[in-house]
Structure 1
Amino acid sequence: MKRSYENALKLLETRRRKGRPKAPASFTSQDAAKPIDTQTVRGVPSLVGMSEWLKIIGHSDSEVDGLNIVHITGTKGKGSTCAFTRSFLRTHGLRTGFPRKTGLYTSPDLQCIRERIQINDQPITEDLFTRYFFEVWERLTAPQLEPNSETIRQPRYLQLLALLAFHTFIREEVDAAIFETHHGGEYDATNVIQKPVVTGITSLGMDHVAQLGPTLESIAWHKSGIFKSGAPAFSVLQESGPAEVLRDRAIEKRTNLTFVSTNNLLPANDKNLSVPVQRLNCSLALELARTFVQLKAPDQTVDASDIADGISNFKWAGRFEVIEDGLSRWFVDGAHNTLSLKQAADWFVTNTCALETRNCRILIFSHFSEERDGVTLVECLAEALSKHGAMPDYVIFTTYEEREDGTTRIDKTLKIPETPFPDLCSVYTSLWKGVDSNAIVSNSPTIEGAITLAKEISAERSGAQILVTGSLHLVGGALNILRPQI
């Protein structure tokens, strides 16, 4: 097969499984310190095989350790915390020379797959992605592998992407690497990291309960699996139950855990800190960056200029993002669980209720998932907006399909819902009309159609404030239309 970017994407796509396994895990992983929790873990945990695959593609534990990793997990704010940490380290590196190269691995992507693997604020190029993908792929599928070896089993989609990130960062000789877990922690593929420099946990909430358990305590247990002996651990303040679990796990993992509250010394008026939860995420990231520099460059410190410039230069697409477009003002946030939807609603209300003139409000929403109840999310969002007396005048339910002509970028991850669009959207429509009979509710089979309709309404009403939320897949498609990549 020709080594091309398009072929790399096609091969990667073959590793995507059709659905999450339902059967409980039935064996013990040599990668895990304890037997697998069969009450929540289903199928083969993502961690299993990662250590062996890294060795097959030529990387030792010491090479992974040499990446100087900051490992971050949580329910809400993982991506933003990773991005703030990256921004602080990058700004510090530009001033002092260390870290010279900073890698960032996150998921999912919004506009293209290469967003998941970044170096110095930029997604890796198509050429680098292609070169390193085929290096990993060909080593993992080499015929000389022992046919009876356990490692003959091939990595799944997210495992392969994590392996590609490790390989890329090692080959590109980054001085620091920030890794976001996929979900969970204890059995997550990224937990092959044995010696992170520092670890962090963002706000915990009820999400991925089929894999992480039905309580905040069980979720806290899984997330704190990234704690490692000798690596300082930090967490934002949590509820008492999960906080106690985190403390116990820190003792078990032989590390020191520090709870972080919002840093009152952060700039008061910076637009990147206008949302309370972002101030908290930034505060956690600052502690992670400070500790990283203290441990890896003891003669240096993250100073006031690093902090100010790091916050000013922060960017994280699709999270509390505002796009001005003529008469329309788009509030774009990839909230997809109840905790984040409440925060998105508060952010939208705060920024629209302060307007001198009463502009039309429009909501564009989409959510299709096996893991989350979309009806619960719609109810949560309606309640949050209603509480502030800020119900939208128009509501548009749509899908994850991006363009009306069916085209999409070859490197854009697209999730096709199993539930037929008309069926679920009719449920959403009935639910919303039951909450607000005055709202004008419509459905669009594509994101492009929903945005076009919102623009038409905005033109008719001499301006509109438009909230786009419910899914990262929706937000990624919306950004491709509102702010297409060159």
Structure 2
Amino acid sequence: MSSRSYADAVDHLNSLQSNAATLDAVRASGGRLSTTAIPEMLEYLNRIGYAADDLNALHVIHVTGTKGKGSTCAFTDSILRHVKPEWKVGLYTSPHLVAVRERIRINGAPISEVEFAKFFFEVWDRLDQNTERANPETPEKPMYFRFVTLVAYHAFLSLKVDATILEVGVGGMYDSTNIVPKPVVTGVSALGIDHVGVLGKTLDQIAWQKAGIYKPGVPALTVDQPEEGMKVLKERAAEREASEFIVVKSVPSLSSITLGLSGAHQHQNATLAVSLARIFLQREGGVAPPPEDTLPEPYVKALERARWPGRCQTVVDPAHEQTVWFLDGAHTLESLDCCIQWFVGPRTALRTEVASRPKRVLIFNCTAGRTGASFLKAMVSKVGEQLKAHGRAEDASQFFDRVVFCTNVTYASGSYKGDLTSKNVHEHELTALTVQHELEAAWKSILPTYPADRIDVLPSVEHAVNAVRQEEKPVDVLVAGSLHLVGGVIEVAGLASVAL
């Protein structure tokens, strides 16, 4: 191989993506195909030269949940770095917004392109050199997420991190991150039923999956949950022999802190992060836990300075100062509810006179297979609730001056930025804009009086950004429904310098 650049690594990685047909098969199986994930992942790990027990050296905080798990990881990462600035802290999350290397961070910063390429090809080569498999039907190389997870393990072990925060990709029990035999502490953020609703799972089934990260002799934490979910989490913690089961308590002083992440729901995520960090720092850093009713200055600064791009994030366009982007990759009913509660706040809800307020544009897309109509209906309903809560008589059906439904294809040419390449949508659906037309029809059904000429169905993110550029200024733009969409907007609109 003549070239082994970061771009080459991304190209190789994209070749491991599951295509739309494969994802359809997983959905049709009801998730049964996931049960092979752990033994296969352990075999891949062995093939690149590690045993499962080696991963204990990463000193892991493992976090799952339906919503809030990424934010919890971001808060936890910030706390560890502020309390122990001399430590090297690794953070593994998914998905990325603009560059795949964002998934693997050291002390808050993505590893460099050079480092990512180095670790990537070391894993790639080891798999090429060790092709023997217990089951010949197991692919020679793992799919995209599993491969990146292997790269993260290899990078963190090679860099000798003092702490690692692992965010579960999907589920918990069968997730590729769930091969660490003995993490230091585990946590479950808020549960909900819609994230994997395509599999027809109930809340107790989802709780069973999430609690699969609980381990023998390891503290098992959770935020307050619905009764049926909490019952299963508690039972699973006992079944999996966790050292203790803890429902984290609110910290009174936390309510007075201006968190670095926006949204009322972030207080619950911050509470879980504080508890995870307290236990970890006591066990791994010899740091006496702070009082439960207050927080010391390093914790406060950490929570204030925490950043998690693309989640309830407000960005002033650096090249178009009268354009403000509201970026939130919310892609479940519950997270979209939080998104609208955040967006339709004092900044937007209290400025109702059309002549004096900014134009409001919604750019939206959602993954095929999810019920876009239910998402849009819930969003419109929440807009009405929020306007009423702020004492405004504005018509919720006319809150947005324009709505744009576009694909996640990055550029108007029909091509993707390498890191944003996606193969998980059927090509004929992309060409026909199937999902986008379904969203358009749903919007018209929900709001039959909404002017048709204010609804755009567009083939790329670049088309959507160009449509915003042509809007009368000032303009507030809400981008929601997909983290891939948010990443594409950051790339095309040139927001990386202020958003990432």
TM-score, structure 2 normalization: 0.87
Kept in 2, the 8 Å contact 1:105–1:179? The answer is yes
CA–CA separation in structure 1 for the residues paired with 2:287 and 2:443: 58
1:305 to 290, 297, 318: 297
The equivalent residue for 1:109 is: 96
Letter in 1 for 2:155: T
CA separation of 1:262/1:435 partners in 2, compared to 1, >3 Å: closer, same or farther?
A: farther
The equivalent residue for 2:405 is: 397
Q: How many residues align?
A: 466
The equivalent residue for 1:259 is: 247
The equivalent residue for 2:392 is: none
CA–CA separation in structure 1 for the residues paired with 2:75 and 2:213: 20
The 5 Å alignment of 1:42-57 reads 42=33, 45-57=36-48
Q: 262-271 or 196-205: which moved more?
A: 262-271
Kept in 2, the 8 Å contact 1:399–1:447? The answer is yes
Superimposed CA distance per residue, residues 317-353 of structure 1 (whole angstroms, 9 cap, x where no aligned partner): 1001001232222211000111101110111111411
The equivalent residue for 1:352 is: 348
Kept in 2, the 8 Å contact 1:45–1:188? The answer is no
The equivalent residue for 1:35 is: none
1:456 to 430, 449, 470: 470
1:280 to 258, 268, 290: 268
The equivalent residue for 1:85 is: 76
User: What percent of counterpart residues are identical?
Assistant: 36
The 5 Å alignment of 1:435-446 reads 435-436=446-447, 437-439=449-451, 440-446=454-460
CA separation of 1:291/1:44 partners in 2, compared to 1, >3 Å: closer, same or farther?
A: closer
Cα drift, residue 261 of structure 1: 4.5
Kept in 2, the 8 Å contact 1:21–1:43? The answer is no
Structure 1: gaps of 5 or more residues: 26-37
The equivalent residue for 1:34 is: none
The equivalent residue for 2:393 is: none
Letter in 2 for 1:324: V
Cα drift, residue 39 of structure 1: 6.0
The equivalent residue for 1:32 is: none
CA separation of 1:264/1:448 partners in 2, compared to 1, >3 Å: closer, same or farther?
A: farther
Q: 208-217 or 466-475: which moved more?
A: 208-217
SS at match of 1:87: helix
Kept in 1, the 8 Å contact 2:53–2:181? The answer is no
The equivalent residue for 1:62 is: 53
Q: 359-368 or 223-232: which moved more?
A: 359-368
Kept in 2, the 8 Å contact 1:53–1:151? The answer is no
CA–CA separation in structure 1 for the residues paired with 2:494 and 2:412: 17
The equivalent residue for 1:72 is: 63
SS at match of 2:478: strand
The 5 Å alignment of 1:407-418 reads 407-415=415-423, 417-418=425-426
The equivalent residue for 2:373 is: 375
CA separation of 1:42/1:314 partners in 2, compared to 1, >3 Å: closer, same or farther?
A: same
Kept in 1, the 8 Å contact 2:11–2:418? The answer is no
CA–CA separation in structure 2 for the residues paired with 1:345 and 1:41: 34
Cα drift, residue 14 of structure 1: 2.0
CA separation of 1:231/1:146 partners in 2, compared to 1, >3 Å: closer, same or farther?
A: closer
Superimposed CA distance per residue, residues 263-312 of structure 1 (whole angstroms, 9 cap, x where no aligned partner): 33115251525411111111111111111001112244466121121012
CA–CA separation in structure 2 for the residues paired with 1:88 and 1:404: 41
Does residue 12 (structure 1) correspond to residue 20 (structure 2)? The answer is no
Does residue 289 (structure 1) correspond to residue 277 (structure 2)? The answer is yes
Cα drift, residue 484 of structure 1: 4.2
CA–CA separation in structure 1 for the residues paired with 2:216 and 2:145: 26
Does residue 320 (structure 1) correspond to residue 309 (structure 2)? The answer is no
CA–CA separation in structure 1 for the residues paired with 2:281 and 2:444: 53
Kept in 2, the 8 Å contact 1:398–1:444? The answer is yes
Cα drift, residue 46 of structure 1: 2.4
CA–CA separation in structure 2 for the residues paired with 1:470 and 1:165: 27
Does residue 474 (structure 1) correspond to residue 485 (structure 2)? The answer is yes
The equivalent residue for 2:438 is: 427
Letter in 2 for 1:330: W
Q: 169-178 or 472-481: which moved more?
A: 472-481
CA–CA separation in structure 2 for the residues paired with 1:23 and 1:299: 45
Cα drift, residue 465 of structure 1: 2.1
Superimposed CA distance per residue, residues 428-474 of structure 1 (whole angstroms, 9 cap, x where no aligned partner): 22221233323521222221221222232242xxx222211011111
CA separation of 1:159/1:197 partners in 2, compared to 1, >3 Å: closer, same or farther?
A: same
Kept in 1, the 8 Å contact 2:171–2:210? The answer is yes
The 5 Å alignment of 1:165-314 reads 165-209=152-196, 213-255=200-242, 256-266=244-254, 268=256, 270=258, 272=260, 274-301=262-289, 304-314=296-306
The equivalent residue for 1:28 is: none
CA–CA separation in structure 1 for the residues paired with 2:23 and 2:261: 36
Kept in 1, the 8 Å contact 2:262–2:313? The answer is no
The equivalent residue for 1:22 is: 25
CA separation of 1:58/1:300 partners in 2, compared to 1, >3 Å: closer, same or farther?
A: farther
CA–CA separation in structure 1 for the residues paired with 2:104 and 2:199: 26
CA–CA separation in structure 1 for the residues paired with 2:344 and 2:198: 33
The equivalent residue for 1:31 is: none
Cα drift, residue 92 of structure 1: 1.1
Cα drift, residue 408 of structure 1: 4.0
SS at match of 1:141: helix
SS at match of 1:192: coil
Q: 133-142 or 296-305: which moved more?
A: 296-305
State the Cα RMSD in Å. 2.5
CA separation of 1:283/1:24 partners in 2, compared to 1, >3 Å: closer, same or farther?
A: closer
TM-score, structure 1 normalization: 0.89
Kept in 2, the 8 Å contact 1:106–1:181? The answer is yes
Does residue 340 (structure 1) correspond to residue 341 (structure 2)? The answer is no
SS at match of 2:43: helix
Kept in 1, the 8 Å contact 2:17–2:423? The answer is no
CA–CA separation in structure 1 for the residues paired with 2:42 and 2:69: 24
CA–CA separation in structure 1 for the residues paired with 2:261 and 2:6: 37
Kept in 1, the 8 Å contact 2:364–2:481? The answer is yes
